[in-house]
Amino acid sequence: MAQSPAERRMRDTRDLTSFSGGTGSESRNGKDGQSPSSILADRWRRVRSRLQAELGEATFNSWFKQIELAGAGDGRVMLSVPTRFIRNWIVSHYADRLAELWADEDAAYVRVDVSVSTDAGALRKPAAASLEEVAPACDAATAPEPRAFQPAAPFGLPQGFEDAGVGAPLDPRFTFDAFVVGKSNELAHAAARRVAEATDVTFNPLFLYGGVGLGKTHLMHAIAWEIRTRHPERKVLYLSAEKFMYQFVRALRFKDTMAFKQQFRSVDVLMIDDVQFISGKESTQEEFFHTFNALIDHNRQVIISADRSPSDLDGIEERIRSRLGWGLAADIHPTDYELRLGILQAKAEEMMQRNGPVAIPAGVLEFLAHRIVSNVRELEGALKRVVAYASLVGRPITPEMTQEVLRDLLRSNDRKITIEEIQRRVAEYYNVRLADMLSARRARAVARPRQVAMYLSKQLTTRSLPEIGRKFGGRDHTTVIHAVRKIDELRQADSGIEEDVDLLRRMLEGGHAPN
């Protein structure tokens, strides 16, 4: 008798939450007194361990680190991942291998399903640098759909601010949900969250600083949106330091400084972006100083951003630099590879949701994450450029096409590749110690990366075979010849080695040292 959809959902829920994991031959408490959930967890750990050993640390961390076991039963295993893009990539490339690994653990498992987690909070990618400050690079055709709240004028401002044009409008894309968090920005993100969610003043001022395109503006907009959602009655004013200076000069010109003071000192939250732009402007700094003090004295929240720490702000008065360091100064470091890849994955997911399926191979994202290291804005711009070219010209996105389209961007960073750089890059890629790769160790986990590094040294440098051998712990030139031949053979027989070598070559040709 056929089951109704509701009955099937109830059965699936029962199966997937029971963590039975058994084949029917085990008791309810499992072998040796283990519970079924414990048995299943052990199997999952073994599957992950084997997968990690096969793929290598870099690939595993990029695509499988966040995969979670959701349950098992009825002959299938359910895994979950945080985004649809990662889910599609895993299903396309590793569905069969996952099924084989689980079948090795228990032949009763004949199917592995991968779904997108509905618990966005629990499985969100530690997740952006940010998708920050890309508004100038977007046009109407590529801009994301607006959020539920998108006022035409700055929100939450005192009466008359909208008409006077005092504040700057907020970008609806710059929210906490759209911010990808990594080690380089986790402190700034956590502090921004705390300030946005708190009912009282916590860090005052909150000072965010870092280089261009790393997420400062995104976080400031996200704070404002969050306060707007949680406390719509609070008066929030966001603007750049340049606009603050313009408003002050305008007030002087029209002899209306009292109205200026009243406007800026009547808000609950004042947010000033890129405060370094008032450097050397003595009159503006004087007014900023008094406004800052007035707000702090009345327990109003102040949030400032700059491209450097308070103590390093040249051309800013000492008394201002001292006060900017009163609260919490949170720096945003340059992005690392994992964070750049996470941003690209999030951006690719966004493109899929907006424009439908976009076939962006994983290798292309990894290539971009390795090659474009300057800032997030340039990274996202490169991805948009590649996708736009593929759409307009009708060509599939491949690593070769990506290199062709971004030739000018990549050429600006080209330089001579050294054996030392190849060794460092290969050691980082395979997650082995550089000292081990140059040692006499012959374990496969060390020997294979060493052979790849020798192969790339022969391909990408003009050094002779004896010179290459000496750079690898004083080895003979015949060892280098063997390594080159071995990798050539493996590239023909093993697609994994072929992908590794091609990706490493493109990374090295980008001319950037590892972060």
* pLDDT tens profile 33-75: 567 778 888 888 888 888 888 877 766 776 777 788 888 877 7
Per-residue pLDDT, 13 = 39
Distance CA 168, CA 165 (A): 7
- Say if domain 337-410 classifies as CATH 3.40.50.720: no
Give the least confident one: 141-150, 275-284, 297-306.
141-150
Which superfamily, per CATH, for 419-509?
A: DnaA protein, C-terminal DNA-binding domain (1.10.1750.10)
CB of 397 closer than 8 Å to CB of 359: yes
What burial letters (b/e) apply to 391-404, b meaning 16+ CB within 10 Å? eeeeeebebebbbe
Give the least confident one: 366-380, 390-404, 457-471.
366-380
CB of 314 closer than 8 Å to CB of 346: no
CB of 245 closer than 8 Å to CB of 278: yes
Which superfamily, per CATH, for 5-123?
A: DnaA, N-terminal domain (3.30.300.180)
Give the least confident one: 85-99, 209-223, 410-424.
410-424
To which H or E segment does residue 10 belong? helix 5-18
User: Cis peptide leading into 205, omega within 30 of 0?
Assistant: yes
Per-residue pLDDT, 192 = 92
Residue 416 pLDDT level (bands cut at 50, 70, 90): low
| The overall pTM is greater than 0.75 | no
What is the residue extent of each domain of the chain? 5-123, 135-332, 337-410, 419-509
Per-residue pLDDT, 509 = 66
Per-residue pLDDT, 92 = 73
Per-residue pLDDT, 138 = 35
Average pLDDT over residues 181-196: 89
pLDDT of residue 170 exceeding 60, the answer is yes
DSSP-derived letter for residue 315 is T
pLDDT of residue 303 exceeding 90, the answer is yes
Q: Give 5 or 216, the one with higher predicted confidence.
A: 216
Which superfamily, per CATH, for 135-332?
A: P-loop containing nucleotide triphosphate hydrolases (3.40.50.300)
CB of 181 closer than 8 Å to CB of 189: yes
CA atoms within 13 A on the CB side of 217: 23
Per-residue pLDDT, 206 = 92
Q: Among candidates 113, 89, 150, which has minimal Cα distance to 363? A: 89
pLDDT of residue 159 exceeding 80, the answer is no
Per-residue pLDDT, 172 = 85
CA atoms within 13 A on the CB side of 458: 20
pLDDT of residue 447 exceeding 70, the answer is yes
Q: How far is CA 203 from CA 162, 181, 190, 194, 206, in A?
A: 28, 20, 12, 9, 5
Q: What is the pLDDT of residues 273-287, one digit of tens each?
A: 988 888 888 888 888
Equal CATH topology for 5-123 and 337-410: no
Average pLDDT over residues 127-153: 32
**Mean pLDDT estimate for the chain:** 76
Per-residue pLDDT, 163 = 35
Q: Among candidates 442, 436, 410, which has minimal Cα distance to 507? A: 410
pLDDT of residue 190 exceeding 80, the answer is yes
- Compute the chain's Rg from CA coordinates: 28
Distance CA 385, CA 399 (A): 14
pLDDT of residue 450 exceeding 90, the answer is yes
Read out DSSP for 406-459?
Answer: THHHHHTT-----HHHHHHHHHHHHT--HHHHTSS---HHHHHHHHHHHHHHHH
To which H or E segment does residue 68 belong? strand 68-73
